Amino acid sequence: MRGAPHRGEHPHAGAPPWVPPRLGGPARMRLLETLAQASGPLSIGEIADAVGVDQPRASRLVQQGVELGVVRREADPDDARRTRVALTDAGAALVRGFRGDRREAIDRALSTFTDAERADLARLLTKLADGWPQG
């Protein structure tokens, strides 16, 4: 496991370039992606299932997102005892930004590939996706 960053080292060193340092963590990024793809606000249980964490971890991720201003809690219109979670405008803008950064990083990484190599990569990724375990 990686310890604290060394002096002069970026605290987010090794992370893909599209992951904002202040958000970090793949679970937080999955939270934002999940909310961006959802058709409406989600419950903590729905977030936990989609992100692949337990409900206490999902609650902590949501709280961190609220503190960062990228998600908000709102009352469930069908059950006042429950809350739903949605992206804020800042969160939606952040997701759009890292999607664009991710696309640019992929384009840069593929810039040295020939057309044949790109076709081979697409074929192999399709084969991987087709063989990926479902559920």
**What count of Cα atoms within 13 Å lies in the side-chain half-sphere of residue 35?**
31
18 belongs to a structural domain: no
9 belongs to a structural domain: no
pLDDT digits (tens, 9 = 90+) for 18-28: 445 555 577 88
Which pLDDT belongs to residue 103?
A: 76
**What value does the mean pLDDT of the chain take?**
80
Domain of 88: which CATH number? 1.10.10.10
C-alpha–C-alpha distance, residues 38 and 63, integer Å: 19
CA distances from 108 to 16, 103, 122 (A): 13, 9, 16
Which pLDDT belongs to residue 66?
A: 94
Structural domain that includes position 112: 26-130
21 belongs to a structural domain: no
Our count of domains for the chain comes to: 1
17 belongs to a structural domain: no
71 belongs to a structural domain: yes
135 belongs to a structural domain: no
